Amino acid sequence: MALRGPQENLGVANGQILESLCEGSAANGVEPHTVESTDSDPAKAESTSPPADAPASVAGPTPVSQPKSWASLFHDSKPSSSSPVASVETKYSPPATSPLVSEKQAEVKEGLVPVSEDPVAIKIAELLENVTLIHKPVSLQPRGLINKGNWCYINATLQALVACPPMYHLMKFIPLYSKVQRPCTSTPMIDSFVRLMNEFTNMPVPPKPRQALGDKIVRDIRPGAAFEPTYIYRLLTVIKSSLSEKGRQEDAEEYLGFILNGLHEEMLNLKKLLSPNNEKLTVSNGPKSHLENEEEQEEPGEGSEDEWEQVGPRNKTSVTRQADFVQTPITGIFGGHIRSVVYQQSSKESATLQPFFTLQLDIQSDKIRTVQDALESLVARESVQGYTTKTKQEVEISRRVTLEKLPPVLVLHLKRFVYEKTGGCQKLIKNIEYPVDLEISKELLSPGVKNKNFKCHRTYRLFAVVYHHGSSATGGHYTTDVFQIGLNGWLRIDDQTVKVINQYQVVKPTADRTAYLLYYRRVDLL
C-alpha cells in the first residue's frame, strides 16, 4: 500500500544461528565497517579511486554521467581487524594486460553485473544450496541507527530483521567480501545485508540476576555506537523500485516486501547457476504483498502453474492450482501459503495456493478488536459480487481463505491505512490487542493440514513490533520494540536511541503510536 506525504515513516525483523567460519566478537562499540560518507542521500553514488594494488583498467574512458564504480556502494570501507567477519580466499584475479590481449579482454569488471559475469556468484550459490537454517537465538549488542533523512521506516525494519535469529545467522553464513576480492557483484542486496549483520557483535548472556524477596530487578544494557547504514539506503536507487519514486510516502510493510522479495530474487538467480536448464527458475515468483483480485486469481492458463484434482473431507473433490514457487532460504524463514477456495453451484471447488511473506489482516470492521478477531475474519466465507463466466453470465459464488502452510517466522500486517472515496487515504487509529504468545487455531487451517500440525507447530511468540506514530496516513514516524535474549527482556529502538522497557509496555495501547507489523517466531524453534 502506498502512502503519500512529505514526512518520514516505517520498519521490521526475525532470528536463527549458523555456526560458521564468520562467528566471533569484537570489542563493544567497535564499528566493523565505518561508513566514510555521511551523506544520507541514496541517489549519490560514492566516487572512489581504485585500490593501489588493483591493476589499471585499459578500457576506454567512462561516461561522466555514470558512477565510477557501483561496487563502491557496497564496499566503501574495509572491516576492522577486530570484526567478526568471514574471510574468504578467492582465486579470481583480473587477466594481466598484454599487447596480444584486446582492451575488452583485459578490462576489470566492476560494479553491478549479471550473475553469469560474477565470478564469486557460484561460490555463494553453492553455500546457499547447502545452508541449514538455525533458529537458536543469539545475544547481540544493540546499536542505534543514525537517521539524517526520512529513513525511520527503513531503520525500524532493519532492527526487526537483526532481531530475527534465522535471518541474522543466514547472513552471517555468507562471507563478507572486500572490494578487492569482489570488484563486481550480481547480489547487491545480499552484500548489503551481510555487511549489516556484521555490524553487530555477540554479547555474552548474563546469568539470571539474584534478588531478595520483594526486591525489584533492575535491568540495563549498554548499547554499542550508533551508525548510519547508508549502503542500505542506496539499495532503493541501485535496485529499481517504486519505493524510490519522488513524492511517494514511505511505508514499512512495503519496504519489508522490497527486502524479502529482493533477497529471494537474488537467491533465485544464484540457483540458476547450479540448474541452468530448470525452466521453473525463470519464473519471477516472489510473494505479493496483497491478495490479487479474484478474477486474476481464478483465471487458469496464465503463468506457470501446476493443477491437480484433490479429494478432501467427505470425498469432496476440488481442482487445485499452484503457481511455480521455488524455495530459497528466505522463503524457508518467512514464506507461508494461503489456500483460496472458490465455491460455485454445480461446479467443483476451485482452489489456488498463494505464497506470502506477510499475512495481511483487515482491521476495518468495528467487530475486530484483537489479532484473533482479524485472523477469524480472514478465513470467514464471503460472497463475491459481480463474478461472470466467459460467456458473460453472472453467477453466484463465494470464497474462503485458509492457512495452508505456516512459516517459521510469521509477520502479521495490521492494515491501518485504507482508502475512502471522500477522504482519500486515512489511518485507522483503533487499538488492536495482540498477545505475546499467539496460537493459530485449527479452524484457521486448510482441511488437508488441520490434523498434521501439532499445537507447537502453530504456536508463536512475539519478538518484534514495528509501530507507526501519528494520526496521519501521509506522515508520521516509525519505531521498533525487539526482544533481546541477553537482557531476557525488551528494548525500544527509535533510530539511534535504545532503551530498556518491560513487556507490558510492548502490548500496552497508547494514543500516540499503534502497532503496524507484528513479528512472531514458532515456539518449537526457540
| Cβ-proximal residues to 496 (8 Å cutoff; 6+ apart), any chain | 144, 145, 146, 147, 226
Give the whole-angstrom CA distance, residue 357 versus residue 257.
7
Burial class (CB in 10 A: 0-12, 13-18, 19+), 500: middle
- The yes-or-no verdict on residue 295 having pLDDT over 50 is no
pLDDT at 285: 45
- pLDDT over 90 percentage in the chain: 47
Instruction: Note the pLDDT of residue 188.
Output: 96
Q: Specify the fold of 304-525.
A: Cathepsin B; Chain A (3.90.70)
Estimate the crossing angle of helix 252-274 against helix 121-129, to 10 degrees: 100
**408, 135 contact by CB (below 8 A):** yes
pLDDT of residue 122: 96
Judge contact between 457 and 442, C-beta under 8 A: no
Residues whose CB falls within 8 Å of the CB of residue 439, separated by 6 or more in sequence, listed in order: 455, 458, 459, 460
Average pLDDT over residues 281-307: 45
Predicted pLDDT at 69: 41
Is pLDDT of 463 > 70? yes
Structural contact between residues 25 and 205, judged by C-beta atoms closer than 8 angstroms: no
- Is pLDDT of 478 > 90? yes
What's the rounded Cα separation, in Å, for the pair 322 and 304? 9
Which tens digit of pLDDT belongs to each residue from 340-387? 998 887 677 788 999 999 999 999 999 999 999 999 999 988 877 777
d(CA 143, CA 482) in angstroms, rounded, equals: 12
Report the pLDDT value the prediction gives residue 279, as an integer from 0 to 100: 63
Task: Give pLDDT, residue 91.
Answer: 41
Mean pLDDT computed over 315-338: 80
409 SS3 class: strand
Mean pLDDT over residues 412-416, rounded?
Answer: 95
Q: Residue 312 — pLDDT band, cuts 50, 70, 90?
A: low
pLDDT level of residue 282 (50, 70, 90 thresholds): low
Average pLDDT over residues 390-408: 87
Question: 39 Cβ partners below 8 Å, 6+ apart?
Answer: 230
Q: Which is higher by pLDDT, 11 or 483?
A: 483
Kindly give the residue spans of alpha helices, DSSP state H, lying in 450-495: none
Query: Residue 211 above 70 pLDDT?
Result: no
Per domain, the residue ranges of the chain are 3-37+74-94+106-207+218-274, 304-525
pLDDT over 50 at 243, yes or no: yes
Q: Which pLDDT belongs to residue 248?
A: 54
The pLDDT of residue 246 is above 90: no
pLDDT, the chain, mean? 76
Point out the least confidently predicted range of 97-111, 428-442, 497-511. Answer: 97-111
Mean per-residue pLDDT for 495-505? 96
Q: What is the mean pLDDT of residues 494-515?
A: 94
Is residue 499 predicted with pLDDT exceeding 60?
yes
Cα 305 from Cα 281, distance rounded (Å):
13
For residues 455-471, average pLDDT? 93
User: DSSP string spanning 182-208?
Assistant: -SEES-HHHHHHHHHHTTS-B-PPPPP
* Residue 286, pLDDT score: 54
Of the pLDDT bands very low, low, confident and very high (cuts 50, 70, 90), residue 145 is: very high
pLDDT for 307 beyond 80:
no
Q: Which of 219-233, 282-296, 496-510 has the highest mean pLDDT?
A: 496-510
Highest mean pLDDT among 88-92, 208-212, 290-294, 319-323: 319-323
Of these ranges, 1-15, 119-133, 229-243, 339-353, the one predicted with the greatest mean pLDDT is 119-133
Question: Which comes out higher in pLDDT, residue 463 or 104?
Answer: 463
Which residues are designated catalytic? 152, 477
Confidence of residue 392 (pLDDT cuts 50, 70, 90): confident
Highest mean pLDDT among 35-49, 342-356, 465-479, 491-505: 491-505
pLDDT of residue 242: 63
- Identify the CA nearest to 331 among candidates 401, 260, 413: 260
CA distance 514 to 493: 15
Q: What is the mean pLDDT of residues 485-493?
A: 94
Q: Which residue has the higher pLDDT, 113 or 15?
A: 113
Length of the chain, in residues: 526
